[in-house]
Amino acid sequence: MKKLRGESNGRSERMHVLVSEFLITASPDYMNGLSDEEQRRYFETAVDHLKEKYSAENMLYATVHMDEATPHMHVGIVPITEDGRLSAKDFFNGKLKMKAIQDDFHRHMVENGFDLVRGEPSEKKHENVHQYKINQREPELERLNAEIALKEKQREELEKQNKAVQAVIEVKKESLTAKAEELKMPTIEHEKAWLKKDKVIVPERELHALYAYAEQKTKTAAELAGQLKSETQEKERWQSIARQKQIGRMKKTNGFRNCRVGSIQKLKRPKRKCGASLQRNLRKNKRQDLRQEVKEELTTLRTENEELSAENKVLIIQRNSEAAESLKLKQELDKRNGQYAEVLSFAKKQNQTLEKVAGENKALKKENKTLKERVAVLEQWKDKMVQWAKEKLPKMRKLAASFFVRLECLEKPINTRTMN
């Protein structure tokens, strides 16, 4: 930009406001309630009003921002009076002038079909444009921080669930191992009673079949434990991926925040430099050249602002993509948790079956033990009976022989008497 030096009315020119910027918007509910076509007409009507009021030649730029919480437009006006002076004070200084500007804008918009409600005057101070943009971005940053905190909380809950599932898996694994050890019993030998009758409660082939069934269930339980282990490792891998994605999102959010602060600082410095240069070099007879140079400078700034807006849109798209990917990852983890629940339910049923089989085996062992005790008692009685027979049988034979001899002796006299 050319460096102009000079004096106005015999005095060094004081600090002048080169550009006055208007912020055209409405309440968030009203602006977001308009369609795209109505929003376009809203901003075009506002620009027409400003051109009519301040001259189209004095309007340097009109930029619409749709990428923030509330659609709004920045309009730059060079405050040049009819007699060629650069004086923002003549246009905007004082509450009465600002109130008249707002009233005229409200009247013009209502006449063109927009149902705007004029706000009540207040003692609040207006923020500058940069502070307004910062405040506009604060809710988005808060939302991003809340989303990050929510994702972190979900990650912690998933880790807690993983630890709980791991604990249940360990408990089930120990229980299944204990049941498997209990089921590894020696084969109960088949015994018969001394009367040569089968007194075993369970037939031998059924007992072997029961053992085979118990061994099969033990193998099934071991396979389930292995499957649970592999599923747990897979879940840990997905959780590691989720943590890496979370770290990436945090880095991008910090980059977005730094980019926002840098863009604001980057816009401030050229405007201050431009203002200082123009304030030192402004001359009345060079007003047209100055306006052109200001337009070129502000065009450059607008181009940089549009580039920053494009970068901001790219960051927003990346953030939405990351959010979608995070949602997909969460759905995958929920699906995995459902599979874990099914496996644990199946393992629980198998454990109940094994407990039932173990109970039946315990009852069979008890009955078999009772049967062995009875067989042992019968064997003792058999030995006693054999011993008693060996001891008493000869005496009984002698006694029987003596008995039969005496009986024969008694029968002879009776026969003799009968013959007589």
Distance CA 341, CA 337 (A): 6
DSSP structural state of residue 351: H
Tens-digit pLDDT profile for residues 255-269: 666 666 665 565 566
Beta bridge partners of 7: 12
Q: State which H helix or E strand residue 410 sits in.
A: helix 287-419
CA distances from 94 to 59, 79, 99, 230 (A): 22, 15, 9, 75
Tens-digit pLDDT profile for residues 332-372: 888 888 877 888 888 888 888 888 888 888 888 888 888 88
DSSP structural state of residue 126: P
Provide CATH code, domain 127-366.
1.20.1270
Tokens of 271: 């405007």
For residues 39 and 31, the answer to whether their CB atoms sit within 8 Å is yes
For residues 235 and 333, the answer to whether their CB atoms sit within 8 Å is yes
Render the burial of 104-122: b for 16+ CB within 10 Å, e for the rest.
Answer: ebeebbeeeebeeeeeeee
3-state secondary structure of 17: coil
Q: Where are the domains of the chain?
A: 127-366
Handedness of CA 95, 101, 104, 107 (dihedral sign): negative
Tokens of 116: 């705007």
Residues 6 or more apart in contact with residue 173 via CB below 8 angstroms: 225, 228
Indicate left, alpha or beta for 84 from its phi (over 0: left) and psi (-120 to 50: alpha). left
Q: Give the residue from 129, 24, 19, 16 showing the smallest Cα distance to 79.
A: 19
Q: What pTM was computed for the model? A: 0.32
Q: Give the pLDDT of the chain (420 residues) as one tens digit per residue.
A: 333 333 333 333 445 677 888 889 888 888 888 898 999 999 999 999 988 888 888 888 888 888 777 889 999 888 887 777 777 777 777 677 788 888 888 899 899 988 888 766 555 555 555 566 666 667 777 777 787 778 778 778 777 777 777 777 777 667 666 665 655 444 444 444 443 444 445 566 666 676 676 677 677 767 777 776 777 777 677 777 777 777 776 776 676 666 666 655 655 665 566 555 555 555 555 566 666 777 777 787 778 778 877 877 888 888 888 888 878 888 888 888 887 788 888 888 888 888 888 888 888 888 888 888 888 888 888 888 888 877 877 877 777 777 777 777 776 655 554 444
Distance CA 194, CA 201 (A): 16
Tokens of 301: 């700034």
